[in-house]
């Protein structure tokens, strides 16, 4: 079953979220899904994955960051002004607030016995950074996660600062999407401090699962291997899925699952069953 909600963060930003659950409402683990850049909670595999985990004994909270560009339609980028103003630090702050609200029962009107996070792509980095400082997270899984946030050439940065923005093309929607220079400044000013992924991974003291597609062209598999290199090997698992890319051959609108994504789901399910159930 699925229910839709929204709330306003402490900064006054609107968060839209879905809660998935099975027939019985009892104390059980909660999973929080964290989408990536140009992602949203109803993209492609997210609803299918949420239903999969709900059927396997979890509550699932899937949400849209307030500045991801998707508004009340839940599927279209109609808030491009907010998309332009988004920063990594804002997403970390919002995820931190969501985790605490889930733990306290404000977002899920059920008893969450433990909390796990699944972050995809840039959402993986946000999940790592937040989980390293939030003691309410009991286990973390990332799919196709980036290992670095400063991903821009010097030429791109120079143009970005001169114009005050850069534009990225969304080939799926045929939209040109602006990113204000505040995103670049956030990354440059904080990459050695609050946005230091290497330091955050090394600080993690919880079970950590890294899943990456072998043929990922958006975020090369070397970045998944780098996260594993940073990690505590006694608490970390690295799973490389052969012959697949950044979204594990899933498209939007969602059509069907496949053997590769089924493997992602089942390995992640095994991980959380081992680490979240008492």
242-267 pLDDT, tens digit each: 999 999 999 999 999 999 999 999 99
Domains of the chain: which residue ranges?
2-149+192-276
- Supply the DSSP symbol for 12: S
Arithmetic mean of pLDDT, 79-108: 96
**Residue 5: strand, helix, or coil:** strand
Arithmetic mean of pLDDT, 49-55: 97
Is 108 within 8 Å of 31 (Cβ atoms)? no
16-44 pLDDT, tens digit each: 999 999 877 778 999 999 999 999 999 99
Class of domain 2-149+192-276: alpha beta
Arithmetic mean of pLDDT, 207-216: 98
Dist CA 107 CA 21 (whole Å): 13
Question: How high is the pLDDT of residue 99?
Answer: 97
Is 217 within 8 Å of 122 (Cβ atoms)? no
Q: Which two tokens stand for residue 13?
A: 């930003």
Report which secondary-structure segment, H or E, holds 102.
Answer: helix 88-104
Place of tokens 């909660």: 30
Q: What is the C-alpha R_g of the chain?
A: 18
Of residues 227 and 27, more confidently modeled: 227
Q: Looking at the predicted structure, is the pLDDT value of residue 269 above 80? A: yes
Place of tokens 């004994």: 57
User: Which of 243, 240, 246 has its CA nearest to residue 218?
Assistant: 246
Q: What is the DSSP string of 194-230?
A: TT-HHHHHHH--S-EEEEEETT-SSS-HHHHHHHHHH
Place of tokens 């609050």: 194
Q: CB-based contacts of 228: which residues, under 8 Å, 6+ apart?
A: 210, 236, 238
- Supply the DSSP symbol for 121: T
Dist CA 160 CA 185 (whole Å): 10
């Amino acid at each position: 079953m699925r229910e839709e909600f929204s709330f306003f963060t402490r900064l006054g930003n609107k968060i839209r979220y879905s809660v998935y659950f099975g027939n019985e409402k009892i104390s059980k683990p909660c999973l929080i899904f964290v989408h990536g850049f140009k992602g949203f909670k109803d993209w492609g595999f997210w609803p299918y994955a949420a239903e999969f985990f709900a059927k396997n004994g979890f509550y699932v909270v899937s949400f849209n960051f307030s500045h991801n560009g998707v508004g009340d339609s839940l599927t279209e980028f109609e808030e491009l002004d907010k998309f332009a103003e988004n920063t990594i630090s804002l997403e970390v702050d919002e995820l931190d607030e969501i985790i605490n609200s889930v733990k306290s029962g404000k977002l899920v009107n059920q008893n969450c016995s433990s909390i796990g996070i699944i972050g995809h792509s840039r959402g993986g980095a946000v999940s790592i950074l937040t989980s390293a400082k939030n003691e309410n997270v009991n286990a973390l899984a990332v799919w196709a996660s980036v290992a670095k946030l400063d991903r821009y050439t010097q030429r791109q940065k120079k143009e970005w600062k001169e114009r005050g923005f850069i534009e990225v093309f969304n080939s799926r929607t045929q939209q040109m999407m602006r990113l204000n220079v505040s995103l670049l400044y956030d990354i440059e000013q904080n990459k050695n401090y609050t946005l230091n992924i290497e330091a955050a991974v090394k600080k993690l003291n919880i079970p950590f699962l890294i899943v990456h597609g072998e043929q990922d062209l958006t975020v090369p598999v070397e970045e998944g291997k780098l996260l594993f290199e940073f990690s505590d090997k006694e608490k970390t698992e690295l799973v490389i899925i052969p012959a697949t890319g950044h979204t594990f051959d899933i498209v939007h609108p969602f059509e069907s699952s496949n053997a590769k994504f089924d493997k992602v789901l089942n390995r992640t399910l095994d991980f959380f069953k081992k680490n979240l159930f008492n």
